[in-house]
Amino acid sequence: MSDFTSNFWSVYVAAITIVGIIACLLLLVITARKKIVSSADNTTGHVWDGDLTEMNNPMPRWWVWLFVITVIFGFAYLAAFPGLGNFAGKLNWSQQGEYEAEMAKAKKELEPLYARFASMKPEEVAKDPQAQAIGERLFMNNCAQCHGSDARGSKGFPNLADADWLHGGTPDKIRETLTQGRIGNMPPMAAAVGSPEDVRNLSHYVLSLSGSPHDSLRASLGKTKFTACAACHGMDGKGNTALGAPNLTDDIWLHGWGEAAITAMINNGKMNQMPAQADKLTEAQIGVLAAYVWGLSNK
């Protein structure tokens, strides 16, 4: 790790850069001073491919001066811009500063457009073609990596195109999720449930809540063990949006379906995180994106 925190590489790169430019200048000087004894026909005596003869003519002056100007430009550039290790340059230019300036310019240009959306209800924004086009692009750039380009998610990543919401599916709740992010934590519950057989029985009871294929005998034995889960999922298993606890009575399984998947969840628990977008998107952009996501499941 010290290789990345020390200034060795900065000094190394700076030295290589300066030595390279000086070496080019020295090569030019040495070449200009070196005299090659030519033959009577003004050739160097070198012949390639049988008929390519090297003449002993000096380099054109314009080419020499162009080379010198290039070297001077190189030194001037290194003095003005970052290129010598940690030296920031006299103009104090940086990629971060350039990015922030461009983003500020883009946001300023889009302010009138987003101001129109801000005055509309989320349900109206969700129906506005221009807002939907912007929301789609925001979704593709910031959400599709996890939830998929069709917003239908995958194992471990919620489907945003259905009506099943862990924390609530109103425009305000979606906006809250986008702004603050979410952390879902299902703690390991095996110790609270009992023996491995008790865990299996509980798994079948959970399957029975949604009418999924299950062993009815094991489900009846596991019903009493569900009290360990009721604090979050409720005694009826319908979940709790305030806690982000899933509804176990529908046929939607975020982390896999079947005895093996549910047993693993009870034994090992699970933690998921939805990153906050407040640092990446403006409040206006989050509003349009929230309306777009809401519209996916409320067409």
Same domain, 39 and 19: yes
Query: In this structure, is residue 289 part of a structural domain?
Result: yes
C-alpha–C-alpha distance, residues 208 and 215, integer Å = 8
pLDDT for res 57: 75
Q: How does pLDDT run across 280-299, given as a tens digit for each residue?
A: 999 999 999 999 999 999 97
- Condensed to tens digits (0 to 9), the pLDDT of residues 136-156 reads 999 999 999 999 999 999 999
Query: What total of structural domains would you count in the chain?
Result: 3
Asked if residue 24 has pLDDT above 70, the reply is: yes
The sign of the torsion formed by the CA atoms of 232, 234, 239, 240 equals negative
Same domain, 54 and 130: no
Angle at 254 between CA 249 and CA 257, to 5 degrees: 70
> Considering the domain boundaries, does residue 96 fall inside one?
no
pLDDT at 242: 92
Please tell me the least confidently modeled range out of 36-40, 177-181, 226-230.
Answer: 36-40
- How do residues 235-245 score in pLDDT, each as one tens digit? 999 999 999 99
CA distance 168 to 146: 19
Q: Is 88 among the domain residues?
A: no
| pLDDT tens for each residue of 248-271 | 999 899 999 899 999 999 999 999
One domain for residues 175 and 207: no
46 and 21 housed in the same domain? yes
Q: Both tokens of residue 71? A: 């070297």
Q: Where are the beta strands (DSSP E) in the chain?
A: 43-48, 52-55, 182-186, 270-274
Report the SS3 class of residue 84: strand
Distance separating alpha carbons of residues 207 and 257, to the nearest angstrom: 9
Q: For residues 287 and 299, what is the distance between their CA atoms, to the nearest angstrom?
A: 18
User: Are 35 and 61 in a shared domain?
Assistant: yes
Please check whether residues 280 and 152 belong to one and the same domain: yes
Domain that holds residue 66: 2-80
211-223 tens-digit pLDDT: 999 999 999 999 9
